[in-house]
Amino acid sequence: MRNIKLTIQYDGTDFSGWQVQKNTPTIQGLIEKAILIVTGEETRLTGAGRTDAGVHALDQRATFKTGSTLDPPVLSRALNANLPMDIRIIACEECEDDFHPRYNAKNKTYTYLICRDVPFSVFLRRFSLMCTYSLDVQAMDAAGPLITGRHDFSSFRASGCSAKNPVREIYTISVLEVGSVDFMGFTFKTPLLKISIQANAFLRHMARNIVGTLMEVGKGRIPPEEMTAILESKNRDAAGPTAPACGLFLETINY
Amino acid sequence: MRNIKLTIQYDGTDFSGWQVQKNTPTIQGLIEKAILIVTGEETRLTGAGRTDAGVHALDQRATFKTGSTLDPPVLSRALNANLPMDIRIIACEECEDDFHPRYNAKNKTYTYLICRDVPFSVFLRRFSLMCTYSLDVQAMDAAGPLITGRHDFSSFRASGCSAKNPVREIYTISVLEVGSVDFMGFTFKTPLLKISIQANAFLRHMARNIVGTLMEVGKGRIPPEEMTAILESKNRDAAGPTAPACGLFLETINY
């Protein structure tokens, strides 16, 4: 059996997340179905991370074993022909037998987009959180670095998280505001906030819970310096709410 | 009765175009329904142009008469609260009684986006035509200016067009290729072709028929210099096919 590595891009808006579920379209489920159509094999796709319903991916990775002898470019085209247009295989290659897209990942970057002006958001709304209130970007940018490093991230972990160990290492958190949005050659005069988090791995909802907490800082409800106490409390209730999925992108995975 | 002018933005993907139709959602129909909810008045919205099903607008304009005394900002917020998120009123003001969004327009610009690489188009596909073949951009850019000026555009007019006079004046046609796409702070390494047409007004499907013909030039099926003969033939069959709606944006209207 060959081990095939896929690089996948998806607009998560219309799917129920990565993981296979019965009676609802998921990225994993739809790709497994495409593999069955193309190779005739029932297989399990192993993803680098389980993105939630509505979360997008620029650079998701996954592997599957196959007896098929199809060349990777042919396999890639055949899978794309059997996938909805919102999911695309953008690279396909044979990899070493023991390569694991999650365990072998050195780090992942999730990026969250917040669009600061509702009326201009028609073209941006699928891909950003629309926020009508103003946010103190400086305070948010000061708050982020206070939780970088190797820590128990229980305060930012969803209750249903299945990870045995809540310790993760965040390398960087950056909060950047740009005054206008470039959108396919058009420029929208609406501020856009871009929050990027790079870590060795993420607990369930960790990126969205950090963003939700930073937004509370931005609104002035949590002072930036309180981030340290929130982290140390290891108590989910101490942190802010889970930011909506639509603004989140799995941006890069480094191996 | 006051005359109210709206500036409207929409992602046309999920609508059956501008014009009211029975049993199918249209931009005009949904805004008239929102006006009815907000003011209690059945009214007819007059648009600056009837965009086709799937066509987007960055800057559509429309007027309606109302007995309502609501302040324009309040009216705008109330209409947006009763519209789907893919349609937004981005400006609302009282205007002179005799202002007509179509007759008073000096010129309109339609812009068409062509994305040159399928696999990377997950985030771009709602807003561009995906094209797998290569196009000779230089030939297309040479062909466009051959049909600018005041002419009978019957060769680029849909059969069902209701305009009495097929004469229009095109001021500029530009064809521009950029090597990568800026998308909300992300960069996609896929070439993007941007075709912009500015004219005093457009016949039905005129922008899409011009784009479809320029694409035939780009494929090498029509020599650029043949544009003049196509225009002069006043024969729709001489020109290329109608380009799909998804790539077209009503970009600006000048008064």
**Residue B111 CB burial class (10 angstroms; 0-12, 13-18, ≥19):** buried
Burial A212-247 (b: 16+ CB within 10 A, else e): bbbbbbbbeebebebbeebbeeeebebbbebbbbbb
pLDDT for B168-222, tens place per residue? 999 999 999 998 889 998 988 888 999 999 999 999 999 999 999 999 999 999 9
* CA of B163 vs chain A CAs: smallest distance (Å): 30
B128 touches A at CB < 8 Å: yes
* CA of A80 vs chain B CAs: smallest distance (Å): 8
Please state, as a whole number, how many other Cβ atoms lie within 10 Å of the Cβ of residue B226. 18
Mean pLDDT of A103-111: 97
Gap between the Cα atoms of B146 and A149, Å rounded:
62
Residue whose entry in the numeric block shows the structure tokens 């095109």: B170
Residue B163: pLDDT above 70? yes
Contacts of residue A113 in chain B, CB cutoff 8 Å? Answer: 184-185
Q: Where are the beta strands (DSSP E) in A87-148?
A: 87-95, 107-115, 129-130
Q: Where do the domains of chain B lie?
A: 2-95, 108-254
Q: Report the chain A residue with the minimal C-alpha distance to residue B76.
A: A119
Structure tokens at A109: 């970057």
Residue A116: pLDDT above 80? no
Residue in A27, A88, A123 to test binding to B, most B beta-carbons within 10 Å: A123
Contacts of residue A9 in chain B, CB cutoff 8 Å? Answer: 119-120, 122-123
From B10, B88, B119, residue closest to A88, measured CB to CB = B119
- Looking at residue B120, what is its pLDDT? 65
- Looking at residue B30, what is its pLDDT? 98
- Looking at residue A161, what is its pLDDT? 87
Residue A118: pLDDT above 80? no
Residue A32 backbone zone (phi > 0: left; psi -120 to 50: alpha; other: beta): alpha
B52 a catalytic residue = yes
Residue whose entry in the numeric block shows the structure tokens 């003001």: B93
Mean pLDDT of A69-94: 95
* CA of A87 vs chain B CAs: smallest distance (Å): 6
Q: What is the mean pLDDT of chain B?
A: 95
Confidence of residue A196 (pLDDT cuts 50, 70, 90): very high
Contacts of residue A89 in chain B, CB cutoff 8 Å? Answer: 119
Mean pLDDT of B74-100: 95
Q: Do A122 and B80 touch (CB under 8 A)?
A: no
Q: Do A10 and B122 touch (CB under 8 A)?
A: yes
Q: Do A184 and B11 touch (CB under 8 A)?
A: no
Q: Do B184 and A182 touch (CB under 8 A)?
A: yes
Q: Top-level CATH class of A107-254?
A: alpha beta
- Looking at residue B53, what is its pLDDT? 95
- Looking at residue A162, what is its pLDDT? 87
Q: Among B154-158, B161-165, B173-177, whose mean pLDDT is lowest?
A: B161-165
From A9, A118, A123, residue closest to B11, measured CB to CB = A123
Confidence of residue B19 (pLDDT cuts 50, 70, 90): very high
Percent of chain A at pLDDT > 70 equals: 98
B123 touches A at CB < 8 Å: yes
Q: Among A50-54, A121-125, B88-92, whose mean pLDDT is lowest?
A: A121-125
Q: Which residues of A are catalytic?
A: 52
Q: Among A120-124, B46-50, B90-94, whose mean pLDDT is lowest?
A: A120-124
pLDDT for A8-49, tens place per residue? 999 999 999 999 999 999 999 999 999 999 999 999 999 999
- Looking at residue B12, what is its pLDDT? 96
Residue A144: pLDDT above 70? yes
* CATH code assigned to A2-95: 3.30.70.580
Gap between the Cα atoms of A55 and A112, Å rounded:
10
Per CATH, B2-95 and B108-254 having the same topology is answered yes
Please state, as a whole number, how many other Cβ atoms lie within 10 Å of the Cβ of residue B193. 25
Classified by CATH at the fold level, domain B108-254 comes out as: Alpha-Beta Plaits (3.30.70)
Q: Do A58 and B186 touch (CB under 8 A)?
A: yes
Q: Report the chain B residue with the minimal C-alpha distance to residue A192.
A: B184
Gap between the Cα atoms of B249 and B113, Å rounded:
8
Please state, as a whole number, how many other Cβ atoms lie within 10 Å of the Cβ of residue B201. 18
A123 touches B at CB < 8 Å: yes
Contacts of residue B127 in chain A, CB cutoff 8 Å? Answer: 123, 184
Contacts of residue B183 in chain A, CB cutoff 8 Å? Answer: 182-184
- Looking at residue B161, what is its pLDDT? 87
Gap between the Cα atoms of A249 and A230, Å rounded:
25
Question: Considering B11, B14, B52, B117, which one is annotated as catalytic?
Answer: B52
- Looking at residue A231, what is its pLDDT? 98
pLDDT for A197-239, tens place per residue? 999 999 999 999 999 999 999 999 999 999 999 999 999 999 9
